[in-house]
Structure 1
Amino acid sequence: MTEENTAKQIIEAALFAAGSTVTAETLMKISGLSKKEITLLVAELQEGYKSRGSGIEIADLSGRFVMQIKPEYAEKVKDVAPKELTTPQLKTLSIIAYHQPITKAEVADMRGGNAYEHINELHERGFIELKPHGRTKMITTTKLFAEYFGIASNDSADVRNKMVEIYRAQGGQSDISSFSSRKRLAVTEMYESVMRMCGITNYKVVNPYQPGESDLQILEETDILVMAKGYAEKLGDLNPPYGGTVLEMSSTTFGDLIEDIHLIEKELGENFTRFGKQSKKEENLTDLKELQEIYRNKALMVKSKASPATEMSAKLLGELGIGLSVDGIVVSPDYGKSSGGKKVKKGEVVFPTHKNQSGNLIKRVCEKYDAVIGGLREIDKAERDAGKKEKTAKKDAVSEE
């Protein structure tokens, strides 16, 4: 037997005896080999198990190695394996790992009331971590979980792929769609109002425009991103680039907000009730339509014609039904330059655009409408007063003659 084969057998025996992950450094001490030699011999062992169709595999977890049962055979040998997870526990753990971070209530919603018992058992085994989150607890997997299942890291993409593989072996193909149906939402600060209008509370707030490290992490774990219209193209320049669904929204008018709600409803489809509340959504849609009608009626009192300085101005005036004219009163937003750097002419009537991200969007729209209608009506009044004075002056002049 060659010296190389002896070393390979020592490494194989060490991995078998350990029953868990073994670092490259430990194998170096046992065998007296360099890290490069260890890596090459482990690769040969991996290929050997693979080529003979073994039910055992050796996984390389970024410098840590483990000999384990292939996932597709785990269920078949569970009766003889020591301290293995039960099928219900494994399914609950799969849900947690795939959708993490996830609350206890959300897990119970997907797995039933027994999930609370499973969560306690999984926590005792060290597979999951529980952190306070308001009145409930948020669940994430641990390093031990990654080692147990032979996953290179706790990276969300690696974990989800592995969990689908395990869950398919446990529950069959028919369970996969319901298993992966829960989507993770992220929203910019400005559009939190739209989430509340839909009764959606389970989402993360992110800054995709100038993302920091935590924002990039959130984006990597996000399936649906809600952000302002016109910025989606820049998401491909991020590192890593965002690969989920983007819902681009506007918030200039009540019509925009109504469309935003319908956009979320359409994207979530039959799963909407898993995220939000139909009653809350319908209530807010009704309120928006009523407000829309109230302001249109107020705008009927405006007599002057308006000239929009920007597309946003034109959109506001169009929704209010205010007449337009090239020679009309200039209506403009309160910023001096557009996002493209183009100078915007300051109008006789100026409405607020709220440069800060936070705030209630319904209130913002109301403030825009009030500024436009109020400003135009003041000009109407000034013109009427001027007309009256002119008429009075003419009348006085005739009387003196």
Structure 2
Amino acid sequence: MEITKKTIDEIDWSKEEENMRLVEAIFFISGRFLSMQDLISLSNLNSLVIKESIEKIKEKYQKENSAIEIVERDNLWKMDVKQEYHNIINKIATGSIEFSKAEQETLAIIAYKQPIKQSIIIKIRGNKAYDHVHKFIQLDLIKAKKEGHTNILTLSEEFYDYFNVSDENKNPLKEETSSDEEED
């Protein structure tokens, strides 16, 4: 068999496609943000090949007008469903149509006041909040750390991924409240 430029190009294209499928499979199965180091160790590819593969995957999804996209945040990448489909995905992921209004309110208080004692949540929301907290822990949306006879509740990394919130260190409502309190 004679090796020609066309044959070499076909081999290169085939290898690029294989690399792209490998990176895509890693994103699909991981379900979380991955660093370049994660991608290198999982794929055994170099960073340039991985970056090229990520760009090709993005182009492929855009060209196909896919409901899936590759999201980049702080040099971390993740395969995710586009924002416009998050509502239906959240319904499926929670195993219910959506969080009940009471559950939403409980989670909102935890998100706003964290870290917060579970006993305070129960005082604010009533005994049904025990079930809410249990559900949120099962869904990995919050973390509970034992302190005395109660738990200290905080949001988990999964909360930020689940609700597609990018800046976990900033709560603008808390800042407004703090500045309002300082003025009084």
TM-score by length of 2: 0.63
Q: Would the aligned equivalents of 1:93 and 1:122 in 2 still touch at CA under 8 Å?
A: no
**Shift in Å at residue 12 of structure 1?**
1.1
Per-residue deviation, 1:11: 0.9
Q: Which residue of 2 aligns with 1:264?
A: none
Deviations 1:129-188 (A, max 9, x none): 23467986542112333344455563335xx8xxxxxxxxxxxxxxxxxxxxxx53xxxx
> Where does residue 33 of structure 1 map in the other structure?
45
Distance 1:76 1:97, change over 3 A: same
The separation in 1 between residues aligned to 2:52 and 2:113, in whole angstroms, is 35
| Distance in 2 between residues matched to 1:155 and 1:39, nearest whole Å | 28
Report the count of equivalent residues.
167
1:220-264 residue CA offsets vs partner (Å, 9 max, x unmatched): xx2233xxxxxxxxxxxxxxxxxx55743xxxxxxxxxxx5xxxx
1:121 aligns with 2:135: yes
- Tell me if structure 2 keeps the 8 A contact 1:92–1:118: no
Identify the match of residue 95 of structure 1 among 99, 103, 108.
Answer: 108
1:144 aligns with 2:153: no
Match of 1:17 in 2: 29
Residues 61 and 150, structure 1, Cα contact 8 Å, conserved in 2:
no
Preserved CA contact (<8 Å) 2:23 2:39: yes
Alignment of 1:224-263 (within 5 A): 224-225=177-178, 245=180, 247-248=182-183, 260=184
2:5 aligns with none
Residue 30 of structure 1 deviates from its aligned partner by: 4.4
Q: CA deviation at 1:28?
A: 1.8
CA change 1:29–1:130 in 2 (3 A) is closer
Equivalent position SS for 2:78:
strand
- What residue ranges of structure 2 are gaps of 5+ in the alignment? 1-9
Check the 8 A contact 2:106/2:121 in 1, yes or no. no
1:134/1:27 CA distance change after superposition, 3 Å: closer
Structure with max Cα Rg: 1
1:117 Cα deviation after fit: 0.9
CA distance in structure 2 between the partners assigned to 1:146 and 1:76 by the alignment? 17
**Which digits, 9 at most, give the CA deviation of each residue in 1:284-308, with x for residues without a partner?**
xxxxxxxxxxxxxxxxxxxxxxxxx
- In 2, the alpha carbon distance for the partners of 1:150 and 1:11 equals 22
Instruction: Provide the residue aligned with 1:74 in structure 2.
Output: 86
Question: For residue 99 of structure 2, what is the amino acid of its counterpart?
Answer: P
Matches within 5 A, 1:297-316: none
Q: Structure 1 pair 5/118, CA: closer, same or farther in 2 (3 Å)?
A: same
Of all paired residues, the percent bearing the same amino acid is 21
Q: Secondary structure at the match of 2:94?
A: coil
* Structure 1: gaps (5+ residues): 161-182, 185-221, 226-243, 249-259, 261-401
Cα 1:136–1:25 change in 2 (3 A) is: same
Q: Which amino acid aligns with 1:56?
A: I
Higher helix share: 2
On the 8 A contact 1:108/1:114 being kept in 2, the answer is: no
Shift of 1:5: 3.2
Deviations 1:11-31 (CA, angstroms, capped at 9, x unpaired): 112212333444433322344
